[in-house]
Amino acid sequence: MPAAAATVPLGPRLRAAAFALAAGVVGALGVWAAWRVGVQSPGGRQLEALVTSEVVPARWSQAAGSLLGLMTNRLIVAGLALAVLVALVRRRWVAAALAVAVVVAANGAGRVLKHDLLSSAVLADGTVYGNSGPSGHTIAAASVAVALVLVVPARVRPSMAVLAALWSAAVGVATVLSGDHRPSDAFGGLCVVLAAAAFGCAASVLVERPPASRRPARWWDVPLLLLVVAGLVAGVVAAVDLVPLAGSGASSDVAAQHRALTGAVLAIASAAALATALAAWVRDVVERTATPSGDGSRAGSAQRRH
């Protein structure tokens, strides 16, 4: 009699879903923290006020504007179509749906958060400090990049995550250099994408049934580990630059403005690296959990032959 198809019990799937949900909560908390610090906190407002267009060299601002000019609806649709195509070629139907869901959910959530949920701050003198985050350009760029990370094979995913983080960081930084957004807006946008990807993975692990396969060797994860290390280092350096500038007696001279700009760029780069790495890790855990062991598959084949 033919052997039954290998399946994964519900228990491991639920544990993987819980891990993905926890990562999604981290992303959601990051969105809240970006708004709380950047809009509602006096220290955060003071810090972001230092990152002005006047301190950005003209050629940087022009280059940033040119990069943002590439972020058209056609490019977003083309990137999403590529992610879906990769998933369909691999016969991963759930992964294709996941890519679409992440891009649509992230961009939709970003608009709702910006226009309906995250309020502006009313200062003591009655002035309204408007909310401008999360950054739509950052969400659009990062969501498509992360969608590609979610659908590629496990062996390619760490390297794809590095490329996705670089692209997401470049667009996030460009929104600041161009003067379109504050640093917290880009940070929040990256966290929105992390939340969408993680919550999507939590749902996909319950329904996805990938074919049995062998797990790639651990050394394939080296690019992802390097990405995490780079993100942590950038985050620490950014904190060293930014925290002293948020104090009530902090200087606001040109040197402080340059230091704030450097710290903001590093903070966005750190968020892009860590958010992308966490999304890739979640997808790896979910996919490995839902995939029957390749060894078990070969054992079943051997039994059928005998």
236-280 tens-digit pLDDT: 999 999 988 877 556 667 888 888 899 999 999 999 999 999 999
pLDDT digits (tens, 9 = 90+) for 12-60: 889 999 999 999 999 999 999 999 998 888 888 888 888 876 678 888 8
Residue 70 lies in a domain: yes
Number of domains in the chain: 1
Report the alpha-carbon distance of residue 221 to residue 204 in Å, rounded.
Answer: 22
Residue 2 lies in a domain: no
Residue 187 lies in a domain: yes
Mean pLDDT lowest among 66-70, 269-273, 290-294: 290-294
Which pLDDT belongs to residue 286? 92
pLDDT digits (tens, 9 = 90+) for 86-112: 999 999 999 999 999 999 999 999 999
Which pLDDT belongs to residue 219? 61
Mean pLDDT of all residues in 185-199: 97
Residue 304 lies in a domain: no
Report the alpha-carbon distance of residue 156 to residue 110 in Å, rounded.
Answer: 29
Mean pLDDT lowest among 19-23, 62-66, 235-239, 290-294: 290-294
Which pLDDT belongs to residue 256? 84
Q: In which domain, by residue range, is 275 found?
A: 10-295
Look over the chain and give the mean of its residue pLDDT values, rounded to a whole number.
87
Residue 276 lies in a domain: yes
Distances (CA, A) of 144 to 87, 166, 190: 14, 13, 12
Query: pLDDT at residue 301 above 50?
Result: no
Residue 183 lies in a domain: yes
Residue 99 lies in a domain: yes
Mean pLDDT of all residues in 75-86: 96
Mean pLDDT of all residues in 139-161: 95
pLDDT digits (tens, 9 = 90+) for 127-136: 788 888 899 9
| Model confidence pTM above 0.85 | yes
Torsion angle of alpha carbons 254, 260, 266, 269, nearest 10°?
A: -110
Which residue has tokens 């790896």? 284
Residue 143 lies in a domain: yes
Q: How confident is the model at residue 183 (pLDDT cuts 50, 70, 90)?
A: very high
The answer to whether the beta carbons of residues 224 and 158 sit under 8 Å apart is yes
Report CA torsion sign: 133, 136, 141, 143. Answer: positive
